[in-house]
């Protein structure tokens, strides 16, 4: 018997969370071994480790409590990685030396696997005078370009690429350039962008008043507040960024407003954090706690939920002590406040199993009840921990209890905090759970609605044949197990059929009992009017949300879902994602590398790098799959022994990627983006930023020559071969990891439903 509810769950475990030796040999023989590894590691700091290990294991068992992926992959491995998901870096000084010190800190943090956030409002605007050098400032966006390039070069721990959030205040003189930065699809691709919107600005928008853009006390520009608001709205309407963060509301509600000021969030927005702030994440799987699903007595087991929350809080508190940190400042900040971010996943499935339609007033009320119970249990558990182990070092009872969040807490919770203190300054957050939700059997992600009742993955087998694998939502699978092929109840809905107002209603209901914030995407139809689109953001502000992120499919953002129609013309309840290339071949995810034939066809290229004594020779061999020629392996050779180690490593890495299949053109793009800080070189009249970029160019030349790419520069920036059944335009984007066209917006982040790859790490 397997614990996995779906094949994709086991595949995600094997790819992302299973502990393996350096040569790929499994250490975790089963998912039970993974749970035991985590439980043992997090129990080490307890006075009675054996007893707590068993309790921690019981919480993890059957995917009831889901620590964030970094904890699942890293706890108990002895690897030098952080178990924290979220970091906001230090305040950026408005000096050249300070800016590049911050760049170094960002690189060190991403190297260990942390996603980071930065407020770029502290950098003087473009054109401002720079004292002592008789020059004008280049502005914050120019430095964001530097950060973006740095992020491209760093592969974070666990094969996760770095992710960044950039924020800018709505009164910064360069805010208009910040708002329009993503109109260039090739710019700032490693960043999510959000505008810090103040209460004063929102009042000016409502009053149709003027608005001043100010830096260091100097007014640079004055414009109508509604004009600036409309610019923000138009940008996110057209290309899904920037998001909006209601920063004054965040600071007013913050339990720690007496000792910190927040100006940025982590990449997905659920963790507003101070300078060097850090937070770890975990989720209660509500779908696994529903008793008597799809019956009149269906309910979440409140006693089991409370006990699970109390154990989860203790586990997460222990992570603070077990984790490594990229920077000493981050460790000190985490230890001083002991922030944790306990959230939920499987909410939409739990609602469906309880007979409630996501987005209705009844579903919002039930969501509020469940999250109130989680918040109460979490805060009371943390006061018990404070009684046993001590409150967080910066705890001040009067100041803490005066915060906006604590004033809304029940009196018994406030009394417990006053008497015993509290172990963790903040406790609740709702994070993106795309990959761990797949790991848990494809439960609905976070507080998001079900994306699709079912969809089809195409998997290329070792023998070159293709198989189809149905991936079914957890609640749908539960219904099928109980009722066979009986039609789904009418209260089953998905993200494509909900009104934007339904999304906002659910986010606002959840936010009442979440002391940090929520990562949520409000799906909007492509044909939504601009005026109604703007109303979504105003509704989010008026109903108490701390931020708002929308996704409207269009030619820029892409679209990912096609609902097929049966021969009778009725719409089926299954999303079928089918993608055909012009020559009839399909880009598919390969479950295992193909076997190497005895002979392969290939080409050898000579690369002469200026100032290098010896040339580099690249041999690229191809394999034919499904009638299409594609790269299979690379060999890089040079007589220059200084190149030996990195060329061997590059050879092995690129060949491993090629053998995994899919759209591997991203290898070209990533190599061509690498810059050498010592300078590049001019080759055949074109500036190449590094020798690695030159190698990328040679590989691209080969892929174009063999027909794998249409032309130079194709890569990920366009997808000329993709089409979706039943949807002519816009066309979807390929996953940069596996090549499947199954990217969808999940809680503000493009996530692949095939392999779990996420832009936000």
Q: How many domains does the chain have?
A: 2
Give the angle 517-164-22 at the CA atoms, nearest 5°.
110
Q: 508 and 641: one domain?
A: no
Between residues 666 and 235, the one the model is more confident about: 235
Query: How far apart are alpha carbons 243 and 233 in whole angstroms?
Result: 9
CATH number at residue 74: 3.20.70.20
Is residue 742 in some structural domain? Answer: no
In this predicted model, which residue has the larger pLDDT, 575 or 467? 467
Tell me: do 541 and 616 sit in the same domain.
no
535 is a domain residue: yes
Q: For position 571, what pLDDT does the model report?
A: 35
Query: Quick check: is 554 catalytic?
Result: no
Confidence of residue 535 (pLDDT cuts 50, 70, 90): very high
- 489 and 614 housed in the same domain: no
Specify whether 213 is located in the same domain as 270: yes
Looking at residue 678, its pLDDT comes to 67
Same domain, 323 and 189: yes
pLDDT value, residue 730: 42
| Rounded average pLDDT over 320-336 | 95
CA–CA distance, 177 with 120 (Å, rounded to integer)? 13
Residues 46 and 192 both lie in one domain: yes
Residues of the chain with pLDDT > 90, as a percent, come to 60
Residue-wise pLDDT tens digits, 365-398 = 999 999 999 999 999 999 999 999 999 999 999 9
Element (H, E) at 523: strand 522-523
User: Residue 740 pLDDT more than 80?
Assistant: no
What is the per-residue pLDDT across 104-131, written as a single tens digit (0 to 9) for each? Answer: 999 888 877 678 999 999 999 999 988 7
Residue at 514 is within a domain: yes
Instruction: State the pLDDT confidence band at 643, using cuts at 50, 70 and 90.
Output: confident
Same domain, yes or no: 423 and 541 = yes
* Residue 422 in domain: yes
pLDDT grade, residue 260 (50/70/90)?
very high
User: Are 200 and 59 contained in the same domain?
Assistant: yes
Query: Which pLDDT value is given to residue 554?
Result: 74
Higher pLDDT, 710 or 239: 239
Q: Which residue has the higher pLDDT, 747 or 499?
A: 499
How does residue 498 score in pLDDT terms, banded at 50, 70 and 90?
very high
How far, in Å, CA of 738 to CA of 751, rounded? 12
Our answer to whether residue 749 is catalytic in this structure is no
Token readout for 249 is 């509301």
User: For 179-227, what is each residue's pLDDT tens digit?
Assistant: 999 888 778 888 999 999 999 999 999 999 999 999 999 999 999 999 9
127 and 208 assigned to the same domain: yes
Q: Which domain holds residue 22?
A: 1-448+474-554
pLDDT of residue 112: 76
Residue that terminates a domain, selected from 529, 554, 579:
554
pTM confidence score: 0.78
Q: Based on the domain organization, do 197 and 313 belong to the same domain?
A: yes
Looking at residue 465, its pLDDT comes to 62
Least confident of 205-214, 462-471, 634-643: 462-471
Are both 159 and 210 inside the same structural domain?
A: yes
Instruction: Show the 3-state SS of 331-342.
Output: HHHHHHHCCEEE
Name the nearest CA neighbour of 468 among 576, 629, 585. Answer: 576
pLDDT above 80: residue 162: no
Q: Does 760 reside within a domain?
A: no
**Does residue 728 fall inside a structural domain?**
no
Does residue 266 carry a catalytic annotation? yes
| Six token digits for residue 168 | 């800018």
| Rounded CA separation 480/374 (Å) | 29
Least confident among 322-326, 417-421, 631-635, 645-649: 645-649
Domain-embedded: residue 360: yes
Lowest mean pLDDT among 282-291, 490-499, 740-749: 740-749
Mean pLDDT of 2-25: 89
**Banded model confidence at residue 541, pLDDT cuts 50, 70, 90:** very high
Which residues is 563 bridged to in the sheet? 575
The predicted pLDDT at position 244 comes to: 97
561-590 tens-digit pLDDT: 444 433 333 333 444 333 323 333 333 344
Question: Is the same domain home to 522 and 661?
Answer: no
Give residue-wise pLDDT tens across range 403-454: 999 999 999 999 999 999 999 999 999 998 888 999 999 999 999 999 889 9
The catalytic residue among 105, 241, 270, 669 is 270
Domain termination residue (choose one: 554, 587, 605): 554
**pLDDT band at residue 604 under the 50/70/90 scheme:** very high
| Cis geometry, peptide bond prior to residue 730 (ω within 30 degrees of 0) | yes
pLDDT value of residue 688: 86
Spatial CA neighbour of 596 closest among 665, 663, 658, 668: 658
Q: Is residue 425 part of a domain?
A: yes
Of 254, 266, 318, 494, the active-site residue reads 266
**Which of 86, 151, 170, 268 is flagged as catalytic?**
268
Q: What pLDDT does 737 receive?
A: 56
User: What phi-psi label fits residue 340: left (phi over 0), alpha (psi between -120 and 50 degrees) or beta?
Assistant: beta
Contact at 8 Å (CB) between 349 and 433? Answer: no
> For all residues of the chain together, what is the average pLDDT?
86
Rounded Cα distance, 292 and 284, in Å:
19
pLDDT score of 294: 97
pLDDT score recorded for residue 379? 98
Residue 511 zone, left/alpha/beta (φ > 0; ψ -120 to 50; rest): alpha
| Most confident of the following: 152-156, 296-300, 636-640, 750-754 | 296-300
* Residue of 757 and 302 predicted with greater confidence: 302
How much is the pLDDT for 253? 96
pLDDT of residue 497: 87
Burial of residue 493 (CB within 10 Å: 0-12, 13-18, 19+) is: buried
Final residue of a structural domain among 554, 569, 604: 554
More confident residue, 329 or 496: 329
């Amino acid at each position: 018997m397997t614990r996995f509810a779906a094949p994709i769950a086991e595949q995600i475990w094997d790819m992302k969370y299973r502990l393996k030796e350096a040569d790929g040999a499994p250490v975790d023989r089963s998912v039970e071994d993974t749970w035991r590894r985590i439980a043992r590691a997090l129990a080490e700091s307890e006075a009675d480790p054996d007893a707590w290990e068993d309790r921690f294991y019981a919480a993890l068992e059957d995917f009831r409590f889901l620590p964030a992926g970094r904890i699942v992959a890293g706890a108990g491995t002895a690897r030098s990685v952080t178990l924290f998901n979220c970091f906001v870096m230090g305040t950026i000084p408005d000096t050249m030396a300070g800016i590049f010190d911050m760049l170094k800190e960002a690189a060190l943090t991403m190297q260990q696997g942390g996603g980071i956030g930065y407020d770029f409002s502290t950098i003087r605007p473009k054109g401002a005078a720079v004292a002592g050098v008789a020059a004008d400032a280049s502005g914050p966006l120019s430095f964001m370009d530097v950060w973006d390039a740095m992020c491209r070069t760093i592969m974070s721990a666990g094969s996760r690429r770095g992710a960044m959030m950039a924020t800018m205040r709505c009164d910064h003189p360069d805010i208009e350039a910040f708002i329009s930065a993503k109109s260039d699809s090739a710019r700032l691709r490693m960043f999510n962008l959000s505008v810090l919107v103040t209460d004063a600005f929102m009042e000016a928008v409502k009053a149709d008043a003027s608005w001043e853009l100010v830096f260091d006390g100097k007014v640079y520009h004055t414009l109508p507040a509604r004009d600036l608001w409309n610019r923000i709205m138009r940008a996110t309407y057209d290309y899904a960024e920037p998001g909006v963060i209601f920063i004054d509301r965040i600071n007013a509600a913050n339990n720690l407003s007496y000792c910190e000021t927040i100006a940025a969030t982590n990449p997905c927005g659920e963790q507003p954090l101070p300078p060097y702030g850090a937070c770890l994440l975990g989720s209660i799987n509500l779908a696994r706690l529903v008793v008597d699903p799809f019956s009149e007595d269906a309910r979440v087991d409140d006693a089991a939920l409370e006990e699970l929350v109390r154990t989860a809080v203790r586990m997460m508190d222990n992570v603070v002590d077990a984790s490594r940190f990229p920077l000493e400042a981050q460790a000190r900040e985490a230890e001083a406040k002991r922030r944790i971010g306990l959230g939920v996943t499987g909410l939409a499935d739990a609602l469906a199993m309880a007979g409630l339609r996501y987005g209705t007033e009844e579903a919002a009320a039930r969501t509020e009840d469940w999250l109130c119970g989680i918040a109460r249990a979490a805060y009371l558990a943390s006061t018990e921990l404070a009684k046993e182990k001590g409150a967080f070092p910066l705890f001040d009872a009067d100041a803490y209890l005066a915060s906006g969040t604590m004033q809304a807490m029940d009196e018994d919770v406030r009394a417990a905090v006053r008497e015993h203190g509290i172990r963790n300054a903040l406790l609740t957050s709702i994070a993106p759970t795309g990959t761990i939700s797949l790991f848990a059997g494809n439960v609905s992600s976070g507080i998001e609605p079900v994306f699709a009742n079912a969809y089809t993955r195409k998997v290329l087998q070792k023998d070159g044949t293709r198989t189809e694998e149905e991936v079914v939502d957890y609640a749908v699978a539960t219904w099928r197990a109980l009722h066979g092929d009986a039609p789904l109840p009418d209260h089953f809905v998905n993200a494509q059929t909900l009104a934007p107002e339904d999304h906002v209603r659910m986010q606002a209901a959840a936010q009442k009992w979440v002391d940090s914030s929520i990562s949520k995407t409000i799906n909007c139809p492509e044909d939504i009017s601009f005026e109604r689109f703007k109303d979504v953001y105003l509704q989010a502000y008026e109903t108490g949300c701390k931020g708002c992120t929308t996704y409207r499919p269009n030619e820029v953002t892409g679209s990912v879902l096609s609902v097929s129609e049966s021969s009778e013309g009725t719409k089926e309840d299954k999303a079928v994602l089918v993608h055909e290339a012009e020559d009839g071949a399909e880009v598919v995810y390969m479950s295992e590398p193909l076997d190497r034939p005895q002979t392969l066809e290939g080409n050898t290229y000579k690369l002469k790098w200026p100032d290098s004594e010896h040339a580099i020779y690249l041999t690229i061999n191809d394999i034919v799959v499904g009638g299409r020629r594609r790269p299979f392996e690379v060999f890089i050779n040079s007589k220059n022994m200084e190149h030996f180690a990195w060329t061997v490593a590059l050879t092995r890495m690129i060949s491993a990627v090629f053998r995994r299949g899919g759209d591997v053109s991203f290898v070209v793009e990533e190599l061509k983006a690498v810059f050498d800080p010592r300078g590049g070189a001019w080759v055949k009249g074109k500036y190449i930023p590094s020798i690695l970029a030159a190698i990328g160019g040679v590989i691209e030349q080969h892929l174009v020559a063999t027909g794998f790419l249409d032309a130079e520069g194709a890569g990920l920036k366009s997808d000329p071969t993709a089409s979706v059944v039943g949807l002519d335009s816009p066309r979807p984007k390929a996953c940069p990891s596996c090549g499947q066209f199954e990217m969808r917006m999940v809680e503000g982040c493009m996530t692949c439903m095939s392999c779990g790859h996420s832009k936000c790490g």
